[in-house]
Amino acid sequence: ETGVTQSPTHLIKTRGQQVTLRCSSQSGHNTVSWYQQALGQGPQFIFQYYREEENGRGNFPPRFSGLQFPNYSSELNVNALELDDSALYLCASSSPMGTDTQYFGPGTRLTVL
């Protein structure tokens, strides 16, 4: 059974740029959730995708957007990067309708300069 994977591991961008982070869900899982974890803090929920549709969103601006593909993998896109977007971005998958436990990938560390 393949676990949740994320790419890239690390990323450095400059303010104003755009970034795409990728996540492959665990085998058999059809729900993907994204979280932002600032240094020294607990994660904050960004949004969740279920069967290619957004299924809940946290308190994040529209420049944070996402996609889920037919194979249940997902992307997180952030436009107009700001310094405060520097964080660890965590992807988690679950099944069936988010009722089960969320299993996390290793995360992507984004640094905005």
Partner 1 sequence: AQTVTQSQPEMSVQEAETVTLSCTYDTSENNYYLFWYKQPPSRQMILVIRQEAYKQQNATENRFSVNFQKAAKSFSLKISDSQLGDTAMYFCASSSMDSNYQLIWGAGTKLIIKP
The site for partner 1 (CB under 8 A) is made up of 33, 35, 41-45, 48, 55-56, 58, 88, 90, 92, 94, 97-99, 101-107, 109
Nearest approach, Cβ of residue 93 and partner 1 (Å): 12
Which lies closer to partner 1 via its Cβ, residue 16 or residue 56? 56
Question: Shortest Cβ distance from residue 107 to partner 1 (Å)?
Answer: 5
Residue type, 103: Y
Question: Mind spelling out the 3-state secondary structure of 44-76?
Answer: EEEEEEECCEEEEECCCCCCEEEEECCCCCEEE
Residue type, 71: N
44-50 and 31-37 strand pairing = antiparallel
Q: Smallest distance, Å, CB 49 to partner 1?
A: 11
